[in-house]
Structure 1
């Protein structure tokens, strides 16, 4: 599969934005190439994910969030304030081992978003 200029623009946008929805990627790409449309962005993101260059996670409601493949971590999403924290995937090693041993399931922890309530909201502190 060859890396076309449009594919490179989309990949560069994902890397530059770190966490981005397809719409954010589209706005970023359109700053330099206004003719690229959202359909092209979605198709390209899908292809780049199949090639293992990007990955997506569902962080809350709405569109998935894309990041570069080597940008791996678990997302902690607060229900109350919508804050998103990044924590190392290794924090889920125990669960990953249990899932593998008891269910034969291999967890991809870099693709995980956990929902709950952040420390600030639990303590009644505002950001």
Structure 2
């Protein structure tokens, strides 16, 4: 991914720094991570990286289309790589486990909104509830 990162940065008049590479790699490895989680991961490799560098870099990476964010809690946004397929986030309110589902899960909603002239951003969608592991039995089909 560093070649793509370097190319996209150069197109914007920016340069590829070791911190930017580390932060992008951390997002890819963690799959769904808040800026604080990215910071902790990166600091495990380079202790001199600070929080403001992580926040600024995540903004740049999102502007470049290399990461996206969604809100999986009432706290900081959660970032994930755009290398992953587009997906819907399902979050258990008890255990906080995040599961990813194919966008076909919400295809009828997407179609209904499109018919009304609204283009839905499925990758930003987070559905909250309670998973079966936390005591909520699955609904009968």
* TM-score w.r.t. length of structure 2: 0.79
For 2:112 and 2:39, the matched residues in 1 are separated by: 40
Please provide the CA RMSD for this pair: 1.7
- Show the counterpart of 1:122: 136
Secondary structure, in 3 states, of the residue corresponding to 1:48? helix
**For 1:20, which of 28, 33, 38 is the aligned residue?**
33
For 1:79 and 1:35, the matched residues in 2 are separated by: 34
**For 1:100, which of 114, 132, 137 is the aligned residue?**
114
For 1:10 and 1:3, the matched residues in 2 are separated by: 12
* TM-score w.r.t. length of structure 1: 0.87
For 1:13 and 1:88, the matched residues in 2 are separated by: 23
For 2:121 and 2:112, the matched residues in 1 are separated by: 13
Structure 2 stretches lacking a partner, 5+ long: 1-8, 10-14
Secondary structure, in 3 states, of the residue corresponding to 2:118? coil
- Show the counterpart of 1:69: 82
Greater RCO (CA < 8 Å, at least 6 residues apart): 1
For 2:123 and 2:131, the matched residues in 1 are separated by: 20
Poorly superposed stretches of 4+, deviation over 3 Å: none
Shift of 1:17: 1.1
Aligned length: 123
For 1:55 and 1:61, the matched residues in 2 are separated by: 17
